[in-house]
Amino acid sequence: MESQLGMGVMIRMLSGNEDSVKAFTSALNKTISSIALEDEALVMGFDDGTKIKFFDNGQSCCESRYMRTDDDLQYYMGAKLLDATIDPGLSTDVEYGTVHEIQFLNIKTSKGVFTMSSHNEHNGYYGGFSIEVEEVKKDD
């Protein structure tokens, strides 16, 4: 079954991603002082006290979205953040009309690249991804 884009993903595609671009570019070439997968988001802290998070903000009805990695995130502490890319992954029919989509977020650092897999399990009508970057405020 080929999935359709969900309403949350379509709205974010139409509204642009200027805030994500600004948050991401402000973190480039900074030294990573903390890194963790927290509440389905990749959270990176930097030596200047700032933090950003990468997360899938395309949630619509009837979906389960989550992020995973097999890489040792702690290894990348002390590295500089250099780039990030998104690659398509698999889309499989699971059972009873359920679709499981995967997209890969590759983070390039001065110590190498690590990969986060972003998952979306849905009923076939709410597909797609909307990976965004957001500055984490000190109160968060």
Which of residues 42 and 91 earns the better pLDDT score?
42
Neighbours of 104 (CB within 10 A): 15
pLDDT at 13 over 70: no
> How far apart, in Å, are the Cα atoms of 104 and each of 69, 107, 131, 138?
10, 10, 10, 28
Which of residues 51 and 24 earns the better pLDDT score?
51
Residue spans per domain, the chain? 7-135
Q: What per-residue confidence (pLDDT) applies to 14?
A: 45
Instruction: Give the mean model confidence (pLDDT) for residues 27-33.
Output: 97
Instruction: Give the mean model confidence (pLDDT) for residues 36-54.
Output: 95
Q: What is the chain's Cα-based Rg?
A: 15
User: CA geometry: angle at 15 spanning 10 and 17, to 5°?
Assistant: 105
Span 72-104, pLDDT tens digits: 999 999 999 999 988 887 766 666 668 888 889
Mean pLDDT of all residues belonging to the chain: 81
Instruction: Read off the pTM.
Output: 0.80
